[in-house]
Amino acid sequence: MKLSNRKRDRKYERGQILILLAFVIIGLMLCSALAVDVGFAYVTKARLSKAVDAACLTGMSNLAAGQDTAQTVATNTFNANYPVTGLDANAPTMNVTFSQNAGQQVVGVTATATIRTIFMGLLPGYRTLNVSASAQALRGFLAMTIVLDRSGSMASNGGQQALLSSAPTFVNYFNNTTDQVGMVSFASNATIDFTIAKQFQTPITNKINALSFVGGTFGPGGLTLAKAQEDSVIPQQGQNLVKVVVYFTDGLVNEIEDTFNCTSQWGHTLYDYGGYDSPNNNVDFFNPTDGTDWGGVDRNGNPPHSPTPDCTGVTNFTSQINGQQESFTRTNVTADAQYRALQTASAMRNEGIYVYSIGLGTKPSTAFLQQIANDPASSTYDSTKPVGIAVFAPDCPSSTCTIELQQVFQTIAAKILLRLIQ
């Protein structure tokens, strides 16, 4: 009797297993269907996020041109990064907003895509899925000093025309009401042409157009003045302030400045001195105030005498490279000038200042300008310090000189604007 019952139970159990197996198969099919549609949704989310991020960055980068321009560029960027496919039920919706946070400009982008489902569409209400993404860019404040070479060689290598065309456009990439920009220039002396401030676009453009291109290349002086300009800007509490120096030159630095303890009938003890590209390794002395050439050393190695300012008894200068006394030769002065320029650039990076460098023509040293900027290609690159780049317009003089320099300034501007965006 008991044996018969066991047989009957097994028969019933076989029927239950078939039912359970059917449910399991249906469940697996539903899970697989869900996985396929969710997978498509995940891919769409990734595409949408990439497009939103790109639109947000380009919108912020073009905000200086106005909100209408920024919105148009952001929309075009989004569409380029999210082409509609057959999976989309319709074109995605996208929205750009502009606001401020603690005085800082904010660009927000949101977008929603509606995709068709494949398997989930068999269920009522699941024929489509909505996928959304958003991004927000916060633009910090900029304190930037441009350092421009106005040496005599610029008048003969196409640099003068190229700079007058390119530099004002570069300045206009930045916000005239929230950013602060200053201008320093150098030749046989270095000057602050426009003290770092807001409302800079017109006055700096006027200063650039009024530059006179004559004299040597007192690059260290230009960098020293730029550092002083940057140091004068104190960030407010909680303010995202990015400090930048852009150094432009068409040649090697070949001039330095020192105070000499000497007897001078003209009352001068501070001298700018260095060499042009002149024969015999000559060194000239210049008025630090206006760059007037006071003449070269005499036959005994002394600085200039009457009728130019006299500095009797001084036959050497103290090198900052090694602290030793060096003779007044162009080779010695140029080496010290490069060292002093690099030391100043390094000191700026120690304060968190980003340095970018631009070389025009073939005379600037690629290695030197890469070191000035802490370019990743530099032999002295330090990844723990603010990273800049060195960019070159080598085809000067030529018919493409101006175009090349414009592209170089655009590259630098893009790097700076991206650094401002969080």
What tens digit of pLDDT does each residue of 393-411 get?
999 999 999 999 999 999 9
β-strands 241-249, 255-259: how paired?
unpaired
- Does residue 190 form part of some domain? yes
- Does residue 206 form part of some domain? yes
CB 291 within 8 A of CB 186: no
- What pLDDT, on the 0 to 100 scale, is given for residue 261? 75
Round the average pLDDT of the chain to a whole number and report it. 87
Q: Among all chains, which residue has been given the structure tokens 């290598």? A: 157
Gap between the Cα atoms of 252 and 146, Å rounded = 18
Same domain, 175 and 124: no
Task: Name the residue among 253, 241, 221 with its Cα closest to residue 179.
Answer: 241
- What pLDDT, on the 0 to 100 scale, is given for residue 27? 56
Strand boundaries in 215-368, DSSP class E = 241-249, 255-259, 270-274, 284-286, 293-296, 316-318, 325-327, 354-360
Same domain, 44 and 167: no
- Does residue 266 form part of some domain? no
116-118-119 Cα angle (round to 5): 135
CB 373 within 8 A of CB 389: yes
Domain boundary among 138, 172, 198: 138
CB 102 within 8 A of CB 238: yes
Say what the pTM is: 0.79
Chain segment 101-137, per-residue pLDDT in tens: 877 889 999 999 998 887 665 566 667 889 999 999 8
Selected residue with higher pLDDT from 309 and 364: 364
- What tokens does 412 get? 């630098």
Chain segment 174-226, per-residue pLDDT in tens: 989 889 999 999 999 999 999 999 999 999 999 999 999 999 999 999 999 99
Gap between the Cα atoms of 244 and 196, Å rounded = 12
3-class SS of residue 140: coil
Same domain, 416 and 332: yes
Is the pLDDT assigned to residue 7 strictly greater than 80? no
Same domain, 345 and 203: yes
- What tokens does 137 get? 């860019």
Instruction: Residue 156: give the domain boundaries.
Output: 141-254+312-420
- Does residue 307 form part of some domain? no
